[in-house]
Amino acid sequence: MKYTHLGRTGLEVSRLCLGTMNFGSLATEAESFAIMDRALELGINFFDTANVYGRKTGEGITEQIIGRWFAQGGGRREKVVVATKVYGSMGDLPNEMRLSAYHIRRAAEESLRRLQTDHIDLYQMHHVDRATPWDEVWQAMEQLVTAGKVIYVGSSNFAGWHIAQAQGAAKARNFMGLVSEQSHYSLAVRAIELEVAPACRAYGLGVIPWSPLAGGMLAGGLEGAKKGRRAETELRGNLEKHHKQLEAYEALCGELGERPADVGLAWLLSNPVVTAPIIGPRTMAQFEGSMRALELDLSSETLQKLDEIWPGPGGEAPEAYAW
């Protein structure tokens, strides 16, 4: 396993992050336990979850599964950098969501209880809360850090200017602020290259891409469709929309002798601002198949061909659209 620092921190995490979104919904508890055990065997020490995962509002099913896995002992908790999130609705009451200091404190305590741990290694804001001032957000996070209940703070789905705002407010309080940003990023979804990725590089945030294979579209979507798989409505629509690009992409992967999923992950790993793409397996086979990406070193020629098939926004702002 390869490791890298999480953004500008001294913390080392694996180059692939185990996403747990399917635990408790598409993967049973037993399957989830097996995948997490295998992750440790392979050297993956970075697990990502959220209090809203599990498809039952307010119950935190996925966090509960991870907590019961930690409770088995054997050094499981000590070997894992666990990241969870706050923002989403955890109930019907008005203060059971978003980023008020009231909700952050309560949500953190509830996540700690479900995870059966005394601290969260990376506490991520699942979305920006435009209605809550940064001083309130940072005061709540500072109190959690001071109490030893949170080690690092990250963001998710932030715009570049949100990151700048957050870091400016944190600096004024002599607080470390954000260390990572979890964004929607893949060969097929490259909008963050305009401003989010440059902001992360400037402020020392590691990028943690979610949906790195565009919901399965980049994991051999066309070939899977021919065999009767990939039947989800959204994915089917994307396959139709990007059919010509996917034909060229899968043909290139064939020339390389590599699976499309591995090429898609390797492309992300080639970007210095990327810490670890999130892989969210439903099965053990899906999980173990992702390891090949760590061994791939894409040539400059291959990277250029991928850019031609999946063009980005044209570079960073403002040069991407202005002189």
Residue 61: which CATH number? 3.20.20.100
Q: How confident is the model at residue 222 (pLDDT cuts 50, 70, 90)?
A: confident
Tell me, yes or no, whether 111 lies in a domain: yes
Residues labelled catalytic: 53
Q: What is the domain range of residue 20?
A: 3-221+268-297
pLDDT digits (tens, 9 = 90+) for 117-162: 999 999 999 999 999 999 999 999 999 999 999 999 999 999 999 9
- pTM, to two decimals: 0.96
Domain tally, the chain: 1
Tell me, yes or no, whether 99 lies in a domain: yes
Average pLDDT over residues 258-282: 97
Query: What Rg do the C-alpha atoms of the chain give, in angstroms?
Result: 20
CB-based contacts of 307-316 (< 8 A; 24+ apart in sequence): 309/187, 309/245, 309/248, 309/249, 309/252, 310/187, 310/188, 310/190, 310/245, 310/249, 311/190, 312/190, 312/193, 313/190, 313/191, 313/193, 313/194, 315/193, 316/193, 316/194, 316/195, 316/197, 316/198
Tell me, yes or no, whether 242 lies in a domain: no
Specify the range with the lowest mean pLDDT, choosing from 48-52, 226-230, 233-237.
226-230
Return d(Cα 177, Cα 163) in angstroms, integer: 10
Q: Is the pLDDT of residue 230 over 80?
A: no
pLDDT digits (tens, 9 = 90+) for 155-195: 999 999 999 999 999 999 999 999 999 999 999 999 999 99
Q: Is the pLDDT of residue 114 over 60?
A: yes
Q: Is the pLDDT of residue 228 over 70?
A: no
Tell me, yes or no, whether 236 lies in a domain: no
